[in-house]
Amino acid sequence: MIFVNLAIFFPFLSFLLLLFNKNLFSKKIIYFIGNFFVFLSFLCVIKTTFLLYYHPQTLIIPLWSWIKCDLFNIKFNFIINKKSILLLDMVTFIGFLINFFSIWYMEKNDDISRYFAYINLFIMWIEILILSDNLLLMFFSWEGAGLCSYLLIGFYKKKIENGYSALKSFLITRFTDSFLLIAMFLIIQRYHTLNFLKLKNVVFYNSLILKNHFYNHIISFFLLLGAIGKSAQIPVHIWLLDAMVGPTPISALFHAATMVTLGIYLIIKTYYFFLLSPIILKFLIWIGVFTLIISSFTAIFQSDLKKILAYSTMSQMGYLFLSLGIKNIHAAFLHLLSHSFFKALLFLASGSLIKNLNYERNIFKINVSYKNFKIIFFSFFVGCLSLLSFPFITSSFYSKEQIFVSLLKSNHFFVLSLAMLGTFFTSIYTFRVFFYIFNFSVFDSKYIKKNDILQNFSLIILSISCLPVTYFGIQKFYNFSSISMIINEISWKMSIFTFLISMLGGIFLYMFKKFFQDICFFYRRKNFIKFFQKVIKKDWYFNKLYKKLFCLFFFNYIQFFKKNYLENFFDIFSILIKFLSNWKLLENKKKFSWYFSIIIIINIIILLMCIYFF
């Protein structure tokens, strides 16, 4: 399987060429290196996909032995199965399209070599993570991807705010990564291996023999904490909003193909722990439901186009957590792939619009005629239909349909109603964004832009990828069901109901704007309405909460331990004596006996300690 090794080697080679020889290359050569090697990586993955299709089996690619000790042996191996190869297809395919789009988007940037170097290194780490056959290798590639995300978010380094946002995103994800590290320590202590295949066998064997699931509950809990950080689930979602300061193609890469999907992939790879822990599965359900409702509701009140798409990503990840919680791992994986394509399309279409309008991101100021940007309009329209899971003509319809049907069959009626509420909120902000951005007026001559193949190629290809042909192709590769079986399995009542819910959101938005907007303006003057709007626009004050609870605490903690321990010991006594020497306090008490008693007792204790220890 040399093609797999080459798929990882090509992005790394382009990283080395671009980073250490950037002064030797012209812009055109940098564009070529940044795109060509990722395209070669994609071709290698496609070749491996065809080999796996005709010889369906799990393949292990041994490279070298990494860590040897008495308890366990960790090898640097890659594992290839249908899930990992499909994810590789998606990552390299979308990665290439984003790189190709970046030629047009970043054409005026002088530091384009650094941009492509970071992206290709990031893609390499994601490929290693997907192929890793053990948790330790996954963790190292996880951290490598995290470092690259820090570099990419803070790419526009001239603005100090971007650096702060990048650092904040980096620290939050590192904090949640520590829980993954704890889970790894517990797994080593309990099962003496980090290999995914061995763990699967050992975990199920121990559960049958010992009937003790306490360790599995603890391990699953820490794995879940590690996953929600990367997949931006509430309450550790705030890093995803700060990641919006990076270039828009980077946002597309994070939200579609890489960062937010890593938490889902971690749960899928270690799902045998979760199957033995029903309590944690319930946590999965409620984290997903809570996130999808809060994020989709918050998106309704946002005016920043990229922020709205960020909240949209959070809500879609909520559906994936929900699906994993009800044990429908297949639907979660399919919706992950469907979401990757249409979210990449939405971000790139938004990036095209933002750049053409001098980087304006406020949807109330963007309003343009669709006739000026026909390809962007069509691409955004397809992306919005996919976000709504429009029946039969979008691939996301079939994957999300499976999630809703699973909820119905497993008698999770209350959860299903909440998921439908999230769909209603999604339809409101989707219609709101689309009709605020585009109008159907006449052609505006001030927005005359030439059609650029570098801009439009990725949009057209991704628009095609959002059609059902993608879903049917994945199903065919999996050998799960044919097209006729898929259509027969559709719950027509559920499809009609979800479609009506989506349309109801659009009707509600229209009725509200036409008949109730004046009433709304009147009530907006009320203090409680102003406060409510402020809370939502400030992301429910999560940033302020974390600042009060964690940042100030750790700052004081660090300040205390900056000195050595002996100094701290004497500082405590000096503070105590200073307090006791407060004559104003003593005068108020009008008694001195307690003061002298305490001084004598403290001196006796110190004297006894000195005699005992020295």
What contacts 422, CB < 8 A, 6 or more positions away?
A: 289, 292, 293, 296, 315, 318, 319
How many domains are contained in the chain? 2
Quickly state the pLDDT bin for 207 (edges 50, 70, 90).
low
Please, which pLDDT band fits residue 610 given cuts at 50, 70 and 90?
Answer: low
Helices (H), 362-394: 363-366, 374-387
Instruction: Decide if pLDDT at 236 tops 90.
Output: no
| Model confidence band, residue 252 (pLDDT cutoffs 50, 70, 90) | confident
Report CA-CA distances (Å) from 451 to 32, 95, 373, 455, 549.
21, 22, 9, 8, 51
Radius of gyration of the chain from its Cα atoms, rounded to whole angstroms:
28
Which residue, 116, 127, 125, 136, is CA-closest to 30?
116
Helices and strands counted in the chain (H then E): 30, 4
Average pLDDT over residues 185-193: 85
Q: Is residue 574 pLDDT above 70, yes or no?
A: no
58 within some domain: no
Domain range for 589 is 574-613
Distance CA 122, CA 142 (A): 10
pLDDT at residue 400 greater than cutoff 70: yes
- Cα-based distances in Å from 361 to 232, 307, 347, 437, 605: 22, 9, 12, 10, 67
Residues belonging to the chain: 614
According to the model, what pLDDT value does residue 259 have?
A: 78
* DSSP letters for 416-433: HHHHHHHHHHHHHHHHHH
Looking at residue 380, its pLDDT comes to 92
pLDDT (0 to 100) of residue 263: 87
Who wins on pLDDT, 70 or 44?
Answer: 44
Q: What does the block give as tokens for 162?
A: 């971007």
Structure tokens at 434: 């689309």
In a domain, 193, yes or no: no
Residue 249 confidence (pLDDT): 87
Asked if 330 and 293 touch (Cβ cutoff 8 Å), the reply is no
At 555 the pLDDT is: 64
Q: Is the pLDDT at 298 greater than 80, yes or no?
A: yes
pLDDT confidence bin for 217, thresholds 50/70/90: confident
Burial code (b: 16+ CB inside 10 Å, e: under 16) for 3-42 equals bbebbbbbbbbbbebbeeebeebeeeebbebbbebbbbbb
pLDDT at 346: 92
Mean pLDDT over residues 388-408, rounded? Answer: 87
With respect to residue 380, please indicate whether it lies within any of the assigned structural domains: no
pLDDT for position 542: 75
| Same domain, residue pair 609 and 578 | yes
Both tokens of 226, joined, read 């590690």
**Structure confidence at residue 190 as a pLDDT band (50, 70, 90):** confident
Selected residue with higher pLDDT from 449 and 2: 2
528 falls within a domain: yes
Residue 592 above 70 pLDDT?
Answer: no
Average pLDDT over residues 575-598: 54
pLDDT in tens, 93-107: 999 999 999 998 888
Q: 154: how many CB neighbours lie within 10 A of its CB?
A: 22
- For 288, residues 6+ apart whose C-beta sits below 8 A from its C-beta are 233, 317, 318, 319, 320, 321, 322, 323, 324, 325
434: in domain:
no
Q: Enter the pTM of the model.
A: 0.84
- Cα distance between residue 331 and residue 323, in whole Å: 7
Top-ranked range on mean pLDDT: pick from 27-41, 429-443, 582-596: 27-41
CA atoms within 13 Å, Cβ hemisphere of 28? 0
Contact yes or no for 306/244 (Cβ under 8 A): yes
Q: What is the mean pLDDT of residues 27-54?
A: 88
CB 44 within 8 A of CB 3: yes
Q: What percent of the chain has pLDDT over 70?
A: 79
Element (H, E) at 362: none
Which residue matches tokens 């308890």? 71
Residue 557 lies in a domain: yes
- 462, 336 Cβ separation under 8 angstroms: no
Q: What is the pLDDT of residue 320?
A: 92
Predicted pLDDT at 285: 92
**254 Cβ contact list (under 8 Å, min separation 6):** 149, 152, 240, 243, 246, 260
In a domain, 80, yes or no: no
Residue of 147, 148, 142 whose CA lies nearest to 127 = 142
User: Residues 218-241: what's their mean pLDDT?
Assistant: 86
d(CA 240, CA 471): 27
Q: How far is CA 136 from CA 132, 184, 331, 515, in A?
A: 9, 8, 27, 58
- Where residue 392 falls (left for φ over 0; alpha for ψ -120 to 50; beta otherwise) is left
Q: What's the confidence (pLDDT) of residue 100?
A: 93
3-state secondary structure at position 369:
strand
pLDDT above 90: residue 505: no
Question: What pLDDT does residue 97 have?
Answer: 93
Can you give the pLDDT at residue 98?
A: 92
Residue 67 lies in a domain: no
Task: Decide if pLDDT at 451 tops 70.
Answer: no
Q: What is the dihedral of CA 471, 476, 482, 487, to 10 degrees?
A: -10
Question: Given this model, what pLDDT does residue 491 score?
Answer: 66
Q: What is the pLDDT of residues 315-367, one digit of tens each?
A: 999 999 999 999 888 888 888 999 999 999 999 999 888 888 888 888 888 88
Mean pLDDT of 174-183: 87
Q: What is the DSSP string of 444-509?
A: PGGG-----HHHHHHHHHHHHHTSHHHHHHHHHHHTS--HHHHHHH--HHHHHHHHHHHHHHHHHH
pLDDT value for 345:
92
d(CA 575, CA 562) in angstroms, rounded, equals 17
Q: Compute the distance between CA of residue 256 and CA of residue 343 in angstroms, rounded to an integer.
A: 5
Buried/exposed code over 496-524 (b: 16+ C-beta within 10 A; e: otherwise): eebbebbeebbeebeeeeeeeeeeeeeee
Provide the token pair at 494.
Answer: 């559920």
